[in-house]
Amino acid sequence: MANPLPTLSLYIHIPWCVQKCPYCDFNSHALKGEVPHQEYVEHLLNDLEDSLHLVQGRQLATIFIGGGTPSLLSSQAMHQLMAGVRQRIPLSAQCEITMEANPGTVEAERFSAYQQAGINRISIGVQSFEAAKLTRLGRIHGPEEAVRAAHLATELGLRSFNLDLMHGLPDQSIEQALDDLRQAIALNPPHLSWYQLTIEPNTLFASRPPQLPDDDDLWDIFEQGDQLLRAAGYEQYETSAYAKPGYRCEHNLNYWRFGDYLGIGCGAHGKITLADGNILRTVKTRHPKGYMRGEYLDRQFMVADDDKAFEFFMNRFRLLEACPREEFSRLTGLSEQQVRPALDKAIKAGYLDETAEHWQITSKGKLFLNSLLEAFLPDND
């Protein structure tokens, strides 16, 4: 008998920003003129229409609207988009619907209209509360706007909201990093994404690298920050995600648990398990020009059996929760015996604990995640 299909999510990409940040390697394009609101939404819904055969009778458990800056989309366009999604795919009763927003583009009236369109969780890209650091990161908002956006999210009574915060910024001291974190905690978000700035290839920072804190300082920032977060009632559940109990991001959890997701919009990626157990990956056209000509699909391919174990564990071991052993076979279609040598190696190295039901990444495994994952790369026996 075939395994039941995994949980299904939908990712929607809005590719425009007011300006491109020097650290960003996402598919985003600085806006020249006005956002083609209605036209883009029509293309998104056509793209979704083309993907409906991949739903295979499932409901959507979560929707995530990312970018770029989705909050550049007018509230009418958001209504049109959400209504169009609902007409095409049933949403589960508890569907978590997240939209990313930049504090500089958060207007109170628009926000409440987004909520009426069905958005019940927002993720606010704060990055820092220090004006000089925000300028250095190319952000167009100031600290006051970040605070205002968080207050607004609280007042709206959304199901949840997240603040995105970075540490390890150019010339940042330990104290400055912790001060940013204290200010974020003071706003009492149900969820905090707290991640280290990394220099990605093909970004402005890669061509002109800034001076970043050294590894010792980064470790101190992480250790002391982690204590601050725990003391404030947050639990770390993923490498860079903290939440109050009951407020983890369901959409990201589905990614990390190797669930399925449709991706629509410029450059959006999708992962779909087919009825025969094969896993299909889809990539949409990156540039708005081609996409808006109706050329949605850039490429699609089946994940090779050799790559499935690595892909599964690369996602699963970002989570700190135990991984049920039965999930491996159910979600990859492989037998545990095929990865037994790699598992034994990881257990022997102290990266993993194994019980009859679960694998649990250890604190040493968290520290040496890359070494742990290397064991599962194809041809690494």
| Backbone angle region of 379, left / alpha / beta, with phi > 0 → left and psi within -120 to 50 → alpha | left
CB 295 within 8 A of CB 283: no
Phi and psi, residue 7, nearest 5°: -55, 145
Residues 121 and 220 in one domain: yes
CB neighbour class for 35 (10 Å; exposed up to 12, middle 13-18, buried from 19) = middle
Q: Tell me what pLDDT residue 168 has.
A: 96
Residues 246 and 313 in one domain: no
Residues 224 and 361 in one domain: no
Which CATH number is 324's domain given?
1.10.10
CB 89 within 8 A of CB 66: no
Residues 63 and 208 in one domain: yes
Residues 82 and 167 in one domain: yes
Q: Tell me what pLDDT residue 380 has.
A: 62
Instruction: Give the end of a domain, one of 254, 285, 317.
Output: 254
Residue 270 domain flag: no
Residues 220 and 359 in one domain: no
Residue 241 domain flag: yes
Q: Tell me what pLDDT residue 360 has.
A: 97
- Helix spans in 125-242 (H): 131-136, 143-156, 174-186, 204-207, 215-231
Distance CA 123, CA 184 (A): 13
- Considering its fold, how many domains does the chain have in total? 2
Residue 269 domain flag: no
Instruction: Give the end of a domain, one of 208, 225, 254.
Output: 254
Residues 61 and 152 in one domain: yes
Q: Tell me what pLDDT residue 106 has.
A: 61
Residues 148 and 76 in one domain: yes
* Enclosing domain of residue 72: 8-254
Residues 250 and 312 in one domain: no
Which CATH number is 202's domain given?
3.20.20.70
Residue 260 domain flag: no
Dihedral angle of Cα 86, 92, 94, 100, to the nearest 10 degrees: -50
Both tokens assigned to 327: 């999930």
Q: Tell me what pLDDT residue 338 has.
A: 95
pLDDT in tens, the chain (381 residues): 567 899 999 999 999 888 888 888 888 887 777 788 999 999 999 999 999 999 999 999 999 999 988 988 999 999 999 999 999 999 999 999 999 998 876 666 788 999 999 999 999 999 999 999 999 999 888 999 999 999 999 999 999 999 999 999 999 999 999 999 999 999 999 999 999 999 999 899 999 999 999 999 999 999 999 999 999 999 999 989 999 999 999 999 999 999 999 999 999 999 999 999 999 999 999 999 999 999 999 999 999 999 999 999 999 999 999 999 999 999 999 999 999 999 999 999 999 999 999 999 999 999 899 999 999 998 765
Residues in Cβ contact with 83 at an 8 Å cutoff, skipping those fewer than 6 apart = 117
Residue 285 domain flag: no
Residue with tokens 């026996």: 381
Distance CA 241, CA 237 (A): 6
Q: Tell me what pLDDT residue 79 has.
A: 97
